[in-house]
Amino acid sequence: MAGYASLQIVDLLIADGGEYTAMCAAAILARRGEDPTCEARARRLAADARWRVREGVALGVQVLGSVSPDAIIEITRAWANDEGPLVQRAAVASICEPRLLHSEATAAAALRVCGRVTAHYAELVPQQRRASGARALRQALGYCWSIAVAASPAEGLRAFRALDTTDADIAWVVQQNVGKKRLAALL
User: What confidence tens digit (pLDDT) does each residue in 131-183 have?
Assistant: 999 999 999 999 999 999 999 999 999 999 999 999 999 999 999 999 888 87
2 or 43, greater pLDDT: 43
Yes or no: say if 30 and 64 are a contact pair by the CB < 8 Å rule. Answer: yes
What is the DSSP secondary structure assignment for residue 17, as one 8-state letter?
Answer: -
pLDDT digits (tens, 9 = 90+) for 4-63: 778 888 888 888 888 999 999 999 999 999 999 999 999 999 999 999 999 999 999 999
Q: CB under 8 Å to 158, separation ≥6 — which residues?
A: none
State yes or no: pLDDT of 108 exceeds 60: yes
pLDDT attached to residue 34? 94
Q: How many angstroms separate the CA atoms of 70 and 155, rounded?
A: 20
pLDDT attached to residue 2? 54
Cβ of 110: how many Cβ atoms within 10 Å? Answer: 31
What average pLDDT does the segment 107-123 reach?
Answer: 97
pLDDT attached to residue 3? 61
How are the residues of the chain apportioned to helix, strand and coil, as percentages rounded to the nearest 5? 75, 0, 25
Yes or no: say if 160 and 145 are a contact pair by the CB < 8 Å rule. Answer: yes
- In DSSP notation, 100-136 reads G--SHHHHHHHHHHHHHHHHHHHHS-HHHHTSHHHHH
